[in-house]
Structure 1
Amino acid sequence: MDYRPLTHFLALAEQLHFGRASDACHISPSTLSRSIRQLEESLGVTLFERDNRHVALTRQGQRFHTYARETLEQWQSVQRTLMEETRELVGEISIYCSVTASYSFLYQLLSEFRQRHPRIEIKLHTGDPADAIARVQSESEDIAITARPRSLPDSLAFKPLTTSPLVFIAPRDGGEWLPRTPQTPTPSQWRDVPMILSEAGLSRDHADTWFRALGISPTIYAQVAGNEAIVSMVGLGFGVGIVPRIVLDNSPLNDRVSVLPVKPELPHYDVGLCVLKRRVKSALIEALWSQLPS
């Protein structure tokens, strides 16, 4: 049974943007458009109003949205029941994480799981950690390895794996713009420092808060998707960056940068698994979720 058209429909209904929805489904925009068109033709109704600028659900699309979500949930429930009867779990779990998280946590997370459940296929997708929460909420991914946000949405469950501080990093060879006394920061020291920051996400939130407390707006040299690229750009001498310590420790370029002893220090944050609460009881997800201590 092919439930992919329903998955495509739900992704577009969530994103209301063909590019983002096709990325979430890991298909091309033309494939997504064709899938939606075929679904509309089979139903004999228009599910989305779309033009070059906007995508919106029609009244029929809103009604079909309820059906599509309930149908997929019922299908997953049937799968769970059948698998429980055979006592062998079969299916796939999609996991989203950063490149650093993939080699920091996956072995610990999946080595024993793989032995217990050899017929569960793992679909691994890597990318910007700032996108992790949204991908789980939109059901583009089953589970994400991510930092716990300041305010965890009520719909999500989170299990910690480790704690990592955020650190300021600078080129090891230095630069004339480097603060001379980072332990006692002043606006004049930091106003003209070229900063390389994440485009979005928890580390960017903490960085913005730190600079607001100092009373200045940072001079941003570059905004980057992905912490690994920040280490690279800092190592090349383009500016000062802010990254999780775990990223720096696992970077092949960590010998090209140094940690600035900045005060006050940026907060630590929890890194862990994130999943929709209503999906924790899914047999496949529960098998992975339950092997971690609460």
Structure 2
Amino acid sequence: MHHKQLEYFLALAETLHFGRASERCYISAPTLSRNIKQLEQLLGAKLFIRDNRQVALSDAGEHFITYAKNTLMQWQQLKASLHGAKELQGALSIYCSVSAAYSFLHPLLSAVRERYCGVEVKLHTGDPAYALERVLDHHEDVAIAAKPAKLPAQIAFRRLGWSQLVFIAPKTPCDISRQVANSPSTPWQQLPFIIPEQGENRTRLISWWRKRRIQPPIYAQVSGHEALVSMVSLGLGVALIPQVVLENSPFAQSVQILNVDDAPPPFEIGLVAQQRRLSESVLGACWQLAAQLK
């Protein structure tokens, strides 16, 4: 078993696509496939379930992620110690939304690059609703996420900041903007909502509806937060979003914030990682560095 094969396996485990994984590893798709088959033969177990349309991790593959990451990390640490390296060496994979990358990730990455220039950072962006899941499934070392009402016992959380939750409506002349402008109070029951498919934002919005006994029409359910601002700007509905998303949106000037006295509580935004992994050199050092950013 070669270390390169472990890197190939992790690339395929993250992308679940032979073409994208081979591009990331700078090898051909047949070479990647051959190395994965060699790993499977050595282990005596299928790491991936694949057909003509998709690739998925098998149960054995899910378990093998931890071994592969730990082995590569220990290899990096061994090389550094043998060469007398004084600076921290290794890799750190981070998951966050695009908006979090603009706001909360930038100061952290700046500090990491200044303090630990030997650490390779691998950044993946996507729907924040998947942040905890990706950390628990070993796809990422750390993620930036909103702290849920109930944090899993095995997850550690380090606060980076806060973000208010605000209701937004379109500015462009349309039925929705006219309803908002012409009503003495916001007619929530009649306004179509655009909501996230899942995640803490959706949870807090539904809780807010229940407290107010509101059952508004739902125009659409979307993945992530950034698309909410775009759809609202087109006059398709109203939405609840973290203010940090609005501040970084190119459509911020096309929507208006609605005044709400009892809006859902703000998000506490921070790093999440598996508690038991904080003793690892790279992850632990970056975790401690994050505490100094406050």
TM superposition score normalised by structure 2: 0.79
Is the 8 Å Cα contact of residues 77 and 282 (structure 1) preserved in structure 2? no
- Cα distance in 2, alignment partners of residues 47 and 148 from structure 1: 33
Residue 216 of structure 1 aligns to a residue whose secondary structure is coil
- Cα distance in 1, alignment partners of residues 65 and 226 from structure 2: 38
- Cα distance in 2, alignment partners of residues 175 and 220 from structure 1: 17
Relative to structure 1, the CA distance from residue 275 to residue 117 in structure 2 (aligned partners, 3 Å threshold; closer, same or farther) is same
- Cα distance in 2, alignment partners of residues 131 and 265 from structure 1: 24
Please tell me the residue identity of whatever aligns with 1:27: A
Relative to structure 1, the CA distance from residue 256 to residue 94 in structure 2 (aligned partners, 3 Å threshold; closer, same or farther) is same
Instruction: State the Cα distance separating 1:66 from its structure 2 match.
Output: 5.9
User: Residue by residue, what CA displacement relative to the aligned partner does 1:68-110 show, whole Å, maximum 9, x if unpaired?
Assistant: 6456435534544654652222222111111111111233112
Residue 248 of structure 2, aligned match among 247, 250, 261: 250
Please tell me the residue identity of whatever aligns with 1:125: H
Please tell me the residue identity of whatever aligns with 1:139: H
Residue 123 of structure 2 aligns to a residue whose secondary structure is strand
Q: Which moved more, 1:212-221 or 1:129-138?
A: 212-221
- Cα distance in 1, alignment partners of residues 41 and 266 from structure 2: 52
Is the 8 Å Cα contact of residues 62 and 137 (structure 2) preserved in structure 1? no
- Residue 105 of structure 2 corresponds to 106
Is the 8 Å Cα contact of residues 168 and 232 (structure 2) preserved in structure 1? yes
Residue 76 of structure 1, aligned match among 65, 73, 79: 73
User: Residue by residue, what CA displacement relative to the aligned partner does 1:49-72 show, whole Å, maximum 9, x if unpaired?
Assistant: 8889998967xx4xx876764564
- Residue 42 of structure 1 corresponds to 42
Residue 263 of structure 1, aligned match among 230, 241, 261: 261
- Residue 16 of structure 2 corresponds to 22
Please tell me the residue identity of whatever aligns with 1:4: E
Instruction: State the Cα distance separating 1:37 from its structure 2 match.
Output: 4.1
Please tell me the residue identity of whatever aligns with 1:107: H
Residue 289 of structure 2 aligns to a residue whose secondary structure is coil
Is the 8 Å Cα contact of residues 157 and 274 (structure 1) preserved in structure 2? yes
Is the 8 Å Cα contact of residues 8 and 36 (structure 1) preserved in structure 2? no
- Residue 165 of structure 1 corresponds to 164
Relative to structure 1, the CA distance from residue 154 to residue 196 in structure 2 (aligned partners, 3 Å threshold; closer, same or farther) is same
Is the 8 Å Cα contact of residues 128 and 224 (structure 2) preserved in structure 1? yes
Over the aligned positions, Cα root-mean-square deviation in angstroms equals: 3.3
TM superposition score normalised by structure 1: 0.79
Relative to structure 1, the CA distance from residue 263 to residue 40 in structure 2 (aligned partners, 3 Å threshold; closer, same or farther) is same
Please tell me the residue identity of whatever aligns with 1:264: D
Residue 27 of structure 1 aligns to a residue whose secondary structure is helix
- Residue 16 of structure 1 corresponds to none
Residue 191, structure 1, aligned to residue 185, structure 2:
no
Instruction: State the Cα distance separating 1:239 from its structure 2 match.
Output: 0.8
Is the 8 Å Cα contact of residues 145 and 272 (structure 2) preserved in structure 1? yes
- Residue 204 of structure 2 corresponds to 206
User: Residue by residue, what CA displacement relative to the aligned partner does 1:240-282 show, whole Å, maximum 9, x if unpaired?
Assistant: 0110011112222211111111232111111111111122122
Is the 8 Å Cα contact of residues 5 and 39 (structure 1) preserved in structure 2? no
1:1-294 mapped onto 2 (5 Å cutoff): 1-2=3-4, 3-4=6-7, 7=10, 11=13, 22=16, 27=21, 37-45=37-45, 61=60, 69-70=66-67, 72-73=69-70, 75-77=72-74, 79-80=76-77, 83=80, 86-173=85-172, 175-177=174-176, 178-179=179-180, 180-182=183-185, 189-293=187-291
Paired-residue identity, %: 39
Relative to structure 1, the CA distance from residue 82 to residue 209 in structure 2 (aligned partners, 3 Å threshold; closer, same or farther) is same
Q: How many residues align?
A: 274
Please tell me the residue identity of whatever aligns with 2:21: I
Is the 8 Å Cα contact of residues 80 and 282 (structure 1) preserved in structure 2? no
Relative to structure 1, the CA distance from residue 207 to residue 35 in structure 2 (aligned partners, 3 Å threshold; closer, same or farther) is farther
Please tell me the residue identity of whatever aligns with 1:41: Q
